[in-house]
Amino acid sequence: MSGSVLFVLADGRSALVAGSPARLICDRLWDLGIEPGAATAAARLSEVLHKNPAVDRDVEFNEREITPLLEAAEAHAPTWMTLVEASDLSLIPPPQRDRLLTTCTELIARLEADGDQDKVMALIVDLARLRDSLSVRPQSAGGKSRHAAR
């Protein structure tokens, strides 16, 4: 994909991100500036985004940068979904999970209403997969989610 950036996390996860979503995530990282790791992640990503798209555009994020990167990546659901492993979805607090689920459902409805579905079908599929993953509620003893017990 021309202009894409490969996000490589310290634990080995990675995601190929198109230029426009990568810039959006970079802007969100700058907005998170004082959060530990956010400014260094933003600087690292910004440097890579200014490289010629024809050259290797990989950016490696260290452990400290993963949390703000995942928070910033929420601005682009398909990237966020790729970076977050399915087992990590159970760690999302219920209010945030509900907000993400609602957003996915609204985006799917808007994209499906668009007359040019061929161009956005992959995005619809990714959002539907994320929606389905978010719909599964983690359960622990007593039928309560882990977060309800806190």
Q: 4 versus 31: which is more confidently predicted?
A: 31
Q: Where are the domains of the chain?
A: 1-74, 85-150
b/e code 97-122 from CB counts within 10 Å (16+ = b): beebbebbeebbeebeeeeeeeebee
- How much is the pLDDT for 28? 93
Q: Which 8-state DSSP code applies to residue 142?
A: G
Our CA dihedral for 64, 80, 46, 54, rounded to 10 degrees, sits at: 130
**28: closest CA among 46, 12, 11?**
46
pLDDT in tens, 87-100: 466 667 788 888 88
Residue 27 reports pLDDT greater than 90? yes
Q: Report angle CA 23, 25, 29 to the nearest 5 degrees.
A: 115
Q: Tell the residue number behind the tokens 């426009």, with chain if given.
A: 20
Confidence tier at 2 by pLDDT (50, 70, 90): low
Confidence tier at 144 by pLDDT (50, 70, 90): very low
pLDDT in tens, 99-140: 888 888 888 888 888 766 677 777 777 778 778 877 776 554
